[in-house]
């Protein structure tokens, strides 16, 4: 190994406040795990933004290198399933929360957490997809497993200009679904239409608690928001409709009733990408190669930032100033 030191964005707790700064580290500072990866790219997800800004209680161990996902090349490993020189992607497993993560030029992690990059996907493209894209793919798969087809009717995607929502719209459109997109920002309507949304949904009612049952509108939905938005989605589902819920950007509460479930037979499916078994991750990444058009990745990726720019970009994401994905070039 030529390098003696490398750069990483480090979070430290000072006077109960989070301080984020790029630091120069030596390799013996890294965790004692079995695989060393030279990182090419990471991303800024909603959870990353909470961690870096100290807004949410995401960080479980101090000090911490944040970044819940990354893609790069295996430098050395004792894991029998991996080889030096192999391109890999990591998402979840508590990385960037309680284990050191992707905002670093190098990282040591458990080899069992790494997914070999499928053919047709480079490290940059993998992080244009990232945790958000993996979660979107899992949500689409959950709807399909519950019997939803393009012929079932319109599918609503909430938080449609965010990372998960944007990629969910693109995948659903590619698979032939009629997609409706919920977004409160008129400036982003053309963006989601460009990804494949045939209808833009908005209105003051989405900030209010719905009645137990509203008019039936959707065959299925992917919800990234939670709280009153998810409650309204459930109240507006068609009989036998399916909702895949994966986020809480609007809140962790769910002010609903049992009515959608017992009177309209609505199915609510929870989707998690953090502790997903490896075989399911591999299958999802394989589907991403075929079901997410590469041509939309540039449209979904808002911009690429350096390690030093991550804190300000994270604040912009939380303030709703970012559409799509934020790519981090750690080098």
For residue range 226-244, what is the model confidence (pLDDT) as tens digits? 999 999 999 999 999 999 9
Say if residue 261 is in the same domain as residue 142: yes
- In a 13 Å sphere around the CA of 122, the CA atoms on its Cβ side amount to 6
Neighbours of 168 (CB within 10 A): 36
- Residue 131's nearest CA partner among 75, 66, 179 is 66
3-state secondary structure of 211: coil
Calculate mean pLDDT across residues 81-101: 97
Say if residue 178 is in the same domain as residue 200: yes
Expressed as residue numbers, the domain containing 111 is: 5-117+295-329
Answer for the pair 107, 273: CB distance below 8 angstroms, yes or no. Answer: no
Cα 46–Cα 49–Cα 55 angle in degrees, nearest 5 = 110
The percentage of the chain sitting over the pLDDT mark of 90, rounded to a whole number, equals 89
Calculate mean pLDDT across residues 166-178: 97
Distance of CA 250 to the CA centre of its chain: 15
Do the domain assignments include residue 89?
yes
Tokens of 202: 């908005």
Distance separating alpha carbons of residues 172 and 196, to the nearest angstrom:
8
Do the domain assignments include residue 279?
no
Say if residue 193 is in the same domain as residue 299: no
Torsion of CA 235, 136, 293, 188, to 10 degrees: 60
Do the domain assignments include residue 199?
yes
Say if residue 142 is in the same domain as residue 266: yes
Distance separating alpha carbons of residues 306 and 36, to the nearest angstrom:
21
- Residue 310's nearest CA partner among 125, 104, 63 is 104
In which band, very low, low, confident or very high, does the pLDDT at 276 lie, cut at 50, 70 and 90? very high
pLDDT for the residue numbered 83:
96
- Residue 119's nearest CA partner among 149, 164, 87, 143 is 87
DSSP letters, 4-18, are: SEEEEEEEEEETTEE
3-state secondary structure of 228: helix
Neighbours of 151 (CB within 10 A): 9
Say if residue 253 is in the same domain as residue 158: yes
Domain end (from 220, 254, 270) = 270
In which band, very low, low, confident or very high, does the pLDDT at 185 lie, cut at 50, 70 and 90? confident
Say if residue 302 is in the same domain as residue 260: no
Distance separating alpha carbons of residues 241 and 222, to the nearest angstrom:
11
Domain end (from 255, 270, 285) = 270
Distance separating alpha carbons of residues 260 and 214, to the nearest angstrom:
9
Say if residue 102 is in the same domain as residue 136: no
Say if residue 32 is in the same domain as residue 150: no
Do the domain assignments include residue 143?
yes
* E-assigned strand segments in the chain: 5-14, 17-26, 35-43, 69-77, 87-91, 106-109, 115-116, 155-157, 179-182, 199-201, 218-223, 237-245, 267-270, 301-305, 325-329
pLDDT for the residue numbered 325:
87
Say if residue 89 is in the same domain as residue 171: no
Do the domain assignments include residue 282?
no
Domain end (from 237, 253, 270) = 270
Tokens of 129: 């997809």
DSSP 252: S
Say if residue 304 is in the same domain as residue 247: no
Tokens of 45: 């997800």
Neighbours of 308 (CB within 10 A): 12
Say if residue 112 is in the same domain as residue 135: no
Do the domain assignments include residue 110?
yes
On the question of pLDDT at 1 being above 70, the answer is no
Give pLDDT tens digits for 151-163.
999 999 999 998 8
Calculate mean pLDDT across residues 192-212: 94
pLDDT for the residue numbered 56:
83
Beta strands 155-157 and 218-223, pairing class = parallel
Query: For residue 76, what is the domain's CATH number?
Result: 3.90.180.10
Domain count, the chain: 2
Give pLDDT tens digits for 122-165.
999 999 999 999 999 999 999 999 999 999 999 999 999 988 99
pLDDT for the residue numbered 187:
86
Do the domain assignments include residue 124?
no
Say if residue 108 is in the same domain as residue 162: no
On the question of pLDDT at 2 being above 70, the answer is no
Instruction: Tell me the whole-structure pTM to 2 decimals.
Output: 0.92
Query: For residue 163, what is the domain's CATH number?
Result: 3.40.50.720
Answer for the pair 192, 166: CB distance below 8 angstroms, yes or no. Answer: yes
Do the domain assignments include residue 284?
no
């Amino acid at each position: 190994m030529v390098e003696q030191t490398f750069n990483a964005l480090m979070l430290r707790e000072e006077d109960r406040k989070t301080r984020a700064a790029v630091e120069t580290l030596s390799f013996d500072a890294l965790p004692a795990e079995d695989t060393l990866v030279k990182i090419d790219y990471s991303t800024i997800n909603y959870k990353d933004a909470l961690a870096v800004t100290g807004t949410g209680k995401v960080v479980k161990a101090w000090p911490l290198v944040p970044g819940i996902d990354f893609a790069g090349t295996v430098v050395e490993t004792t894991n029998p399933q991996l080889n030096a020189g192999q391109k890999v992607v990591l998402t979840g497993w508590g990385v960037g929360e309680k284990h050191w993560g992707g905002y670093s030029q190098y990282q040591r992690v458990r080899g069992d957490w790494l997914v070999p990059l499928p053919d047709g996907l480079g490290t940059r493209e993998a992080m244009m997809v990232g945790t958000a894209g993996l979660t979107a793919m899992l949500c689409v798969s959950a709807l399909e497993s519950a019997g939803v087809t393009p012929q079932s009717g319109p599918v609503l995607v909430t938080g449609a200009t965010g990372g998960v929502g944007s990629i969910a719209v693109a995948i659903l459109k590619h698979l032939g679904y009629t997609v409706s997109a919920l977004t409160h920002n008129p400036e982003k309507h053309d963006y989601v239409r460009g990804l494949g949304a045939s209808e833009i949904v908005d209105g003051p009612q989405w900030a209010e608690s719905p009645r137990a049952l509203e008019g039936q509108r959707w065959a299925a939905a992917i919800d990234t928001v939670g709280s009153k938005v998810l409650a309204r989605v459930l109240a507006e589902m068609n009989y036998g409709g399916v909702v895949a819920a994966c986020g809480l950007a609007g809140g962790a509460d769910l002010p609903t009733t049992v009515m959608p479930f017992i009177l309209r037979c609505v199915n609510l499916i929870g989707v998690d990408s953090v502790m997903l078994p490896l075989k399911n991750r591999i299958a999802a990444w394989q589907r991403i190669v075929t079901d997410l058009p590469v041509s939309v990745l540039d449209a979904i990726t808002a911009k690429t930032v350096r390690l030093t720019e991550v804190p300000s970009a994270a604040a912009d994401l939380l303030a709703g100033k970012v559409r799509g994905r934020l790519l981090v070039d750690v080098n």
